[in-house]
A and B are shown apart, each in its own frame.
Chain A
Amino acid sequence: MSTKITIEPVTRVEGHGKVTIHLDDNNQVERARLHIVEFRGFERFIQGRPFWEVPVTIQRLCGICPVSHHLAAAKAMDRIVGVDVLTPVAEKMRRLMHYGQIFQSHSLHFFHLCSPDLLFGFDADVAIRNVIGVAQKHPELAVQGVMMRKYGQEIIKATAGKKIHGTGAIPGGINKNLSIEERDALLKDIDQQIEWAQGAVKLAQDYTVSHLDEALAFANFPSHHLSLVREDGAMDLYHGNLRAIDAAGETVFDQVDYANYTNYIAEEVRDYSYMKFPYIKSIGPEDGWYRVGPLARVNACNFIDTPLAEASRQAFMAVTEGKPNNLSLAYHWARMIEVLHAVEKIQLLLHDPDLQGTDLLLKGDRREEAVGLIEAPRGTLFHHYKVNEGGQVTMCNLIVSTTNNNEPMNRAVESVAKTYLSGQTITEGLLNHVEVAIRAYDPCLSCATHALGRMPLEVQVLDREGSVLDRRATR
């Protein structure tokens, strides 16, 4: 008799999800699915609201990366008010805000959500394999995680007015510059932050290299990779053009103006998840899915324009001899390379006198439709709006980072289930490995469905008729 295993809820990820593992008559894994079971409807209820309100409203999708939604919406609204190029102070203030966001979000994920798995092993006792266990066994790392996150949040406060759900970016610019006092307060700690970021890269690198055999056998599958890159091919987390490469590194498309993303990317709806499945149009829904986020960005860019992160990127690419890295567990290393890049950028910006400029806002001729893209911590984030003459939003489409990673996360779960499931019973080992696979992508399921609530995981085993044979939840 065929069966289905369910893991619910998934823990130490942002949001609420469930995994089902379907078995055939011989108890072999037939397929596995990550279900996103909550729904919020931002795209609908934003309709009718004034466009200038959207960057502040839409960021309420998320309490983890609100800055990404704030800035993606603001970039779209820049174009709505006819501004294609911001003033230097506005662009640099937004970049500073964004790098602060990348820094704090990645630090939170690495130190608080993932480090228990990496430090104690996937099969360690759950009583130890948590952030409290890290604080007891590796107090210096736990403190670093807290202090790095705090530093990123302080940058967000200095640029957006408060640490969560600020108002800094407004259509056509920014509402404040960086005062000398704010700058000096941030500069005071920058050297320490760079040192810690280097340590985090080393930790992730050492872990990946020393566990390479395990990483090669764990959710390792080829995929396309999508990200924004600068015109010269450099990594650019705030602005650029779209580039997609295949698993071997060959270009699928490059330097695509993201305003035309609908010519290149489409979304498929499946009946078991509120999260859509995006794919590259020219390849089709079957094979056109892709990864986004730190792994995709490090794979897709030609280089990183800050020296420490670039050296780390070269070490990263050397593992796969310059070809794209397709290991799910390599996300952690790539993520820490970006932490280092972000803090190097923060240092450069803090020394840039443009941030004390006073030319904050521009205006142009109104447009009716616009797209804003940004590389959010978890990957490429699409915001697309139509606005009527009076200024009301008439259409909103969001493809958030986690949605872009939907198919890869499903593949990762399936791959792990095939390796670790034995019989019809959900063992602790299976549960742990499924969670580690999902966690590598740092999914934010709240964002992905625009959903509200906690994000635990449940796993279920089901037979072919859909009857639940076993279920196990972690909290």
Chain B
Amino acid sequence: MSGKITLIIDGQEIEAEIGQTILDAADAAGVYIPRLCAMKGLSPHGSCRVCTVHVNGRPQAACTQPVAPGMSIENETPELKAHRVSVIDMLFVEGNHYCMFCEKSGNCELQAVAYRLGILAPQHDYMFPCRGVDASHPEVFIDGNRCILCGRCVRASQELDNKNVFQFVGRGIHKRLTFNAPNNLSQTDLAGIDKAVDSCPVGAILRKGTAFSVPIGQRLYDNEPIGSEIESGRRTNDRQV
């Protein structure tokens, strides 16, 4: 089924195509809904819950919920902002996110969303996990303590690279990223040019030899907040992979 419908986001009427998700429709209309696990070109995952909006009063993940006629969507409300702040805050304290020396700083979506939401310090106690690093691969470095379990690398490897390098193990607070190999990343078929490497929104999966090569002031989010591209109609916020 295809065709155009209208729906309302924060009182503004927008046009959407049947089959789109709320997130896609909002992007096309220049309305930014914060997100982390969602990425253009990948199937929706609905795991980070940062994009939660109220659809006719009920919370829904904008990245997985298809549009439907008559939807009235709330995106920018104090309640939803508080919810997003809480989710982002928990992602920060569950990992070791030291922005001051992380090479992803300035290009990091977690940091950028936090700045956009005005988060200056965490509300919860740090958990200081010790998940370790994997430096075995000649071209890729993994810092497990920065992984936010968004699953973008898992999906990118499967859907775009036609591989199956990354997977999750464990449940709940014990869930973590692992590799499809007995010991370390170098035993997988991951290549440095794989799109899975680019898909990481934080500093967990890094391409060796590229750190700090972009000077401060020229990094992705140095000059305007994340989502500005969507709001200005440039539509380049989501990295195309």
The answer to whether A and B interact is yes
How would residues 163 to 192 of chain A score, 1 for a CB under 8 Å from any chain B CB and 0 otherwise?
A: 001111010000110000000000000000
Question: Which of B20-28, B121-129, B165-173, B204-212 faces chain A?
Answer: B204-212
Which residues of chain B from 127 to 145 have any CB-CB distance to chain A below 8 Å in the complex? 133, 135-137, 141
Chain A minimum-CB-distance residue to B135: A390
- Among B103, B133, B141, B206, point to the contact of A56 (Cβ < 8 A): B103
Give the secondary structure class of A's interface.
loop
A222 CB within 8 Å of chain B: no
Interchain nearest-CB distance for A151 vs B (Å): 19
B82 at the interface (CB under 8 A from A): no
| A166 close to B213 (CB less than 8 A) | no
Q: Given that A53-B103, A56-B101 are known contacts, is A392 also in contact with B213, CB under 8 Å in the complex?
A: no
With an 8 A cutoff between CB atoms, is A27 at the interface? no
Known: A60-B101, A391-B135, A392-B135. A52 touches B212 (CB 8 A): yes
- Is there contact, CB below 8 Å, between A57 and B211? no
Q: Which of B101, B208, B212 contacts A175 (CB 8 A)?
A: B212
Complex partner residue of B216 from A52, A60, A167, A361, CB under 8 angstroms = A167
Known: A56-B212, A166-B216, A167-B216. A50 touches B101 (CB 8 A): no
B181 located at the interface, meaning its Cβ lies under 8 Å from any Cβ of chain A in the complex: no
- How distant is A158 from chain B, measured CB to nearest CB, in Å? 10
Residue of B nearest to A169 (CB): B212
Cα–Cα, bound, A162→B213 (Å): 15
Taking CB atoms, residues of chain A closer than 8 Å to B1 are none
Residue on A with the closest CB to B101?
A: A57
Contacts of B212 in A (CB 8 A): 52, 56, 167, 170, 175
A50, B211: Cβ atoms closer than 8 Å: yes
Contacts of A466 in B (CB 8 A): none
Does A88 lie at the interface of the complex (its beta carbon under 8 Å from any beta carbon of B)? no
Minimal beta-carbon separation of B203 from chain A (angstroms) = 10
Contacts of A176 in B (CB 8 A): 215, 218
Residues of B within 8 A of A49 (CB): 133
A170-B208 Cα distance, complex, nearest whole Å: 13
Q: Is B5 an interface residue (CB 8 A)?
A: no
Scan residues 304-343 of chain A and give those whose CB is less than 8 A from a CB of chain B.
Answer: none
User: Can you name the residue of chain B whose Cβ is closest to the Cβ of A49?
Assistant: B133
The minimal Cβ–Cβ distance linking B205 to chain A, given in whole angstroms, is 13
A contact residues, total (Cβ < 8 Å): 24
Give the residue name and chain of the B residue nearest to A390 (CB).
Answer: B135
Q: Are A52 and B133 in contact (CB under 8 A)?
A: no
- Residues in B lying within 8 Å of A, measured CB to CB: 100-101, 103, 133, 135-137, 141, 206, 208-209, 211-218
12 additional contacts (CB under 8 A) given A52-B209, A168-B215: A52-B212, A53-B101, A161-B215, A161-B216, A161-B217, A175-B213, A175-B214, A175-B215, A390-B137, A390-B141, A391-B141, A391-B208
* 27 cross-chain CB contacts under 8 A: A48-B133, A49-B133, A50-B133, A50-B208, A52-B103, A52-B208, A52-B212, A53-B101, A53-B103, A56-B101, A56-B212, A57-B101, A60-B101, A160-B216, A161-B215, A161-B217, A167-B215, A167-B216, A170-B211, A175-B212, A176-B215, A176-B218, A361-B213, A390-B135, A390-B141, A391-B208, A392-B135
